[in-house]
Amino acid sequence: MRQIVLDTETTGLNPRTGDRIIEVGCVEIFNRKLTGNNFHRYINPERDSDEAALAVHGLTTEFLSDKPKFHEIAHELREFVQGAEIIIHNAPFDLAFLNHEFERMGLPPFVEHCANVIDTLVHAKELHPGKRNSLDALCDRYGISNAHRKLHGALLDSELLADVYLAMTRGQNTLSMDVEVEASGGGIVLEAGPLGEIFVLPAAADELAEHENVLAALDKGVKGECVWRKYSPQG
């Protein structure tokens, strides 16, 4: 499955009042692996950013003045996302801007070029009800470093969100059987059920001899008795 993690930066909050996209960042995932085939463009919005938005992304009018306009990158973006599943954090915000930009060009809405859209904010709220589910909060929760994120950036945020999404959807990631199971309904803690019969396959004689050879080599290396001797049934 081909998935695209997408983020935008904008001049403000509302495309219907003239705000425009100034940056698009896309990170490709194929079969749950980052491919490195990313898409990133700065865009000249032909207007200034709101003061509050500028404080978030730091992309000045001067910096963006020589960048391509959206209609110059739209077809390239459309080809990149064509038929893919799109992953966005707080999808309605980004989709409103993307759909508006495509409609300005007389093209079908952005969403019609994609297979479907996953909103990681909705998914995070289902997994962690009542908790903070911003991108920063999710990075903290899943142990993903965002120390280098001083300002918002479309490509940087897409890279972080890709790691968060893979962590959020990886499923069972421990082999530990000494666990307690918390019911999702009332927060009741249940003891783990009884384990099935455990089969123990003892080492063969030649395997034990090879193990002893390894321990002897370790003893020689430390010029004494290696630490593994106290865990060995023959030590």
**Residues catalogued as catalytic:** 152
Measured CA to CA, the distance from residue 167 to residue 169 in angstroms comes to 6
**Could you please report the per-residue DSSP string of 51-107?**
HHHHHHH---HHHHTTSPPHHHHHHHHHHHHTTPEEEETTHHHHHHHHHHHHHHTTP
Measured CA to CA, the distance from residue 231 to residue 235 in angstroms comes to 7
Decide if 85 contacts 169 (C-beta within 8 A): no
- The first and second tokens of residue 16, run together, are 């219907």
E strands within 104-222?
116-119, 180-182, 189-191
Radius of gyration of the chain from Cα atoms?
26
